[in-house]
Structure 1
Amino acid sequence: MNVALYGERRKHWAMTERGRNAVSRNRDEFVIGPSSVDWDGEALTFRIDEVATPFPHRLQGVVRVHPSALTSKAFTLDPAGLHHWHPIAPCSRVQVDFRQPSMRWLGVGYFDMNYGDRPLERDFSSWEWSRADTRKGTVVSYDMVESDHERTSLAMRVDRTGAVEHLEPLPRAKLHPTGWRVPRTARGDAQQLVTVTRTLEDAPFYARSQLSATLLGETADIMHESLSLDRFRMPIVQAMLPFRMPRKSF
Structure 2
Amino acid sequence: MSDDGTRAISIIGFIGSVFSPWYAWSGRGAPENHVCLNVATYGPGGRFAMTDRGRAALRQSRDCLTIGPSSMRWQEGRLIIDIDEVSGPPIISRMRGRVTLTPEAITSVELPLKADGSHVWRPFAPSSSIDVALEAPGWTWPGHGYFDANFGTAALEDDFSFWTWSRYPTASGATCIYDAALRDGTELNSAFHFGRDGAAKVTDAPPRTGFKRSLWQVKRETRADPGTVPRQVLPMLDAPFYSRSAVTTRLNCETVTGVHEALDLDRFASRLVKPMLACRVPRRAGWHFDSGP
Superposed displacement of residue 28, structure 1: 0.9
Measure the CA separation in 2 of the matches of 1:116 and 1:91. Answer: 24
Aligned residue in 2 for 1:144: 180
1:44 to 79, 94, 107: 79
Aligned residue in 2 for 1:62: 98
Alignment RMSD (CA, Å): 1.2
2:46 to 4, 7, 11: 11
Measure the CA separation in 2 of the matches of 1:179 and 1:91. Answer: 30
Measure the CA separation in 1 of the matches of 2:211 and 2:45. Answer: 24
1:103 to 106, 116, 139: 139
Tell me which stretches of 4 or more aligned residues in structure 1 moved more than 4 Å.
Answer: none
Is residue 22 from structure 1 mapped to residue 57 from structure 2 by the alignment? yes
Aligned residue in 2 for 1:204: 240
Structure 1 contact 153–169 (Cα < 8 Å) conserved? no
Measure the CA separation in 2 of the matches of 1:216 and 1:58. Answer: 43
Residue ranges of structure 2 left out of the alignment (5+ in a row): 1-36, 288-293
Deviations 1:199-236 (A, max 9, x none): 21110110011111112211111210000111111111
Structure 1 contact 82–117 (Cα < 8 Å) conserved? yes
Decide which moves more: 191-200 or 75-84: 191-200
- Secondary structure of 2:226's counterpart equals coil
Measure the CA separation in 2 of the matches of 1:193 and 1:243. Answer: 35
Aligned residue in 1 for 2:163: 127
Measure the CA separation in 2 of the matches of 1:96 and 1:41. Answer: 18
Measure the CA separation in 2 of the matches of 1:10 and 1:206. Answer: 21
Deviations 1:23-65 (A, max 9, x none): 1111111110000000013100000000001232111010011
- Secondary structure of 1:118's counterpart equals coil
Superposed displacement of residue 100, structure 1: 3.5
2:217 to 174, 178, 181: 181
TM-score by length of 1: 0.96
Decide which moves more: 120-129 or 193-202: 193-202
Measure the CA separation in 2 of the matches of 1:235 and 1:4. Answer: 25
TM-score by length of 2: 0.82
AA aligned to 1:29 is C
Deviations 1:76-129 (A, max 9, x none): 001222110000000111110011355111111111100011221111111100
Is residue 153 from structure 1 mapped to residue 189 from structure 2 by the alignment? yes
Measure the CA separation in 2 of the matches of 1:93 and 1:106. Answer: 7
Q: Percent identity?
A: 40
Structure 1 contact 170–188 (Cα < 8 Å) conserved? yes
Measure the CA separation in 1 of the matches of 2:138 and 2:284. Answer: 27
Decide which moves more: 87-96 or 161-170: 161-170
AA aligned to 1:32 is I
Residue ranges of structure 1 left out of the alignment (5+ in a row): none
1:31 to 59, 66, 69: 66
Decide which moves more: 90-99 or 144-153: 144-153
Aligned residue in 1 for 2:15: none
1:167-246 equivalence runs, <5 A: 167-246=203-282
Measure the CA separation in 2 of the matches of 1:28 and 1:68. Answer: 19
**More strand by proportion, 1 or 2?**
1
Deviations 1:117-146 (A, max 9, x none): 122111111110011111111011110111
Aligned residue in 1 for 2:121: 85
Superposed displacement of residue 73, structure 1: 2.1
Measure the CA separation in 2 of the matches of 1:181 and 1:190. Answer: 24
Structure 2 contact 212–231 (Cα < 8 Å) conserved? no
